[in-house]
Structure 1
Amino acid sequence: MKTTIKTISGLEILDSRGNPTVRVYVELNDGTKATASVPSGASTGQNEANELRDGDKRYGGKGVLNAVANVNGAIANALIGKNATEQKDIDYTMIELDGTENKSKLGANAILGVSMAVAKAAAKSRNIPLYEYLGGTNSVRLPVPCMNILNGGEHADNSVDFQEFMLVPHGAPSFKEGLRYVTETFHVLKGILKKKGLATSVGDEGGFAPNCASNEAAIELILEAVEKAGYKPGVDLSIAIDSAANSISPNLDNNYDLAWSGKGKMSTQDLINLSEEWLKKYPIILWEDPLSEGDWEGFAQFTKRFGKELEVVGDDIFVTNTKYIAKGIAQGTANSALIKLNQIGTVTESIEAVRMCREAGWRYFLSHRSGETEDTFLADFAVAMDGGHLKTGSACRGERIAKYNRLLEIEHELKGRSEYRWK
């Protein structure tokens, strides 16, 4: 059979933070070759699939030679001879081979690299784009790019408590124009920061990381840039926030410490009240991880209070795992789940998480990681999943721009058939 897997091999490469990660090469019997590179997160949930690291002296213990050895050995032995177009069979064969709850034996980085590379090879062998292979011929919806424009928390060394402030060009007529809206505003913001004597260095995902007087000051700087760029806040561009509340909750419970900005200790109710003030004052349309992964009750309170006007996204609390998403649906914890391929470890399980959200009437928000590569799998996956929005970093850093440029290519390939809408 032409699409039978002939060879699988792995290689240790570096991600955007200079840390080792896994690249996988797959060749099919028909000569088709494909590669995939695995991202890595900094702000992670406790229940994420396990990223296998060597723990020795190389790269400060972060080497991935054991994961690569698992690709070249156990995984290759189990998958060579299988049909690459049988994605679910490929992925569940690796899950069963690993045999652990969190993929700690073979490593989620090893498993995901193979999962992605096999999907790419199958699409390439059929001579169709990856987004069409994964999502079908009706995959024509380009995501609204929720661009990380200002960083704080774990992604920057500054005085801002919350991890990401994003701009959402929901008022644009197309992906191409939406990307232009946020990119222009990004460059205007740089000029404003420079004029105010604030740092224009960037964080892991390309957003600026200035020492702002307060968290509110960060939002106000962004809105100033929106207006100076010639756009209307709340009409053309709105704000999305990722609190990454695990990073401000020392025990991952209902106690918080906004130490970076100097606000100090806060309760769940304090944070909810602060959020209400911001929602009245600023055009915020999405809020990710407003509470910690251990604060299920607080998360549900937040959603009950703001869920009708706001997309409330669970990231660390759900970790792209249907077990936790199902619990969230039952308890009304959120109304959207973040989807990160490496958080669960296979393409199939990521698709299953999306399907669960759809069936519950939830939204789902496709996402990169802070440690990325130039691989553009995520761009095609976002179109295939028809989720309507994506975050993949700012308007700088090549590993982020690669995804945006791939989406521009897809929009061009669709020749006027593409769709672009927030909901």
Structure 2
Amino acid sequence: MKKILAIFIISVLAIFLLNKMVYQKVPEQDTKEQLAEVERYKHPLKSISMEYRDNSDLKIFDSILKDNKVLILGENTHVDGSTFEAKSRLIKYLHENLNYNVVLYEAGQYDTWVMNEEMKYHQLKTSADSIGGLGLFEHWWNAKENQPLIQYYQKTKTSANPIEIGGFDIQFSGGVLSFKRGKLLKDFLSRNAININNFPIFNKRINELNNFIYPKYVSRVLKGNQKNEFLQELTGLEQAVLKLEKTPENTIYARYFNDMKNYITKNWKYKSGSVKSMQFRDSLMAKNLIYQIDSVYKDKKVIVWCANIHSFAERYSKDYLPLGSYIRSKYGQASYIIDFSSYAQQYETGGPADKPGKWAIENIFHKTKTPYFFLNLRNIPESSFLKKEFVSTINQRVDMKKNWSRSFDGIFYIDINTVLTPIKK
């Protein structure tokens, strides 16, 4: 009985102490000092709309990006509508004022190439409001917040200074392209006298490629050693294309077969969202991106569109090195990373939700009562708390304590972010 009583008393004390730690208030003096620093270094932004005409607030980027080659624009989650609006306004400004003429997405190399070609030549007769779906994941084109940028891309194609759009992911990303993959592949192989009958599994399953990322589906349709044979066929197709003349189209198709093999391998080998899957994908995205920057768009300034977690310049964990760390290692200070964060998310119904934990810096940002602002962490003194460890929800709205200034160079803050508004068809 005494033992039970002792365990009960210890349990009660443990709960009391835990509650005290979790619910204690952040010291008021610390809050005041941090708020004063944020107020000192923040650069207020007037709007996130592409239609806003006064760009005086964006001129800060003229000096920040003066010697820049690669600008990475992150996003906290893929449903942050306000973030997409802000990125769109920034891309338009950088294109019209700082000679950034290339935007590369965390989307398929081949898919975005098809989209870019269609914007230029319209051979597939894709409607203007669906053209983004040839290359981009749906959250980056099929929403009210994204359409102005897609329209802007298309408008520049007829100008003297067009924006070129590309991608660096190994994944299939264009939903609108899904039902066209088989025909486009057959047409390409036929034009180049590559006999598809020499690749029997690929030939039989060419209209099912989108399903090959699902291991259970593959196990039903491929038996015995056919999985390995299918991957070998993809390698054989890549090698056959590499023997052709080195035209832009032939080059992208060779890379397409390579990406397809890697994408399928990733899904067969690793659990989706696992650290091993992330590491595998990011290492290959980095390889593709560096190729795009150094070979396809050599001597051009490049904007990279991706998620915050992929943008980080510092190792995320011992088993995961994000895309951004490869870019920082390759281009050094000629690369600049801007990640986006918010205090809360505004949904269609109800008030703002997804607020941060009490220790997160987003609470301090919210206290500035500034709807939008930018912090250039590169120019903040090392003595500032902003250059030390602090808690932030900048990674997928999860409270995390890190020295964030090692992961990115600037924070674009949007106080209340709105969710995407899907286009209803």
- TM-score tier, shorter chain, comes to under 0.3
Q: Which of the two has greater helix per residue?
A: 2
TM-score, length-normalised on structure 1? 0.28
TM-score, length-normalised on structure 2? 0.28
| RCO higher in structure (CA 8 A, sep ≥6) | 2
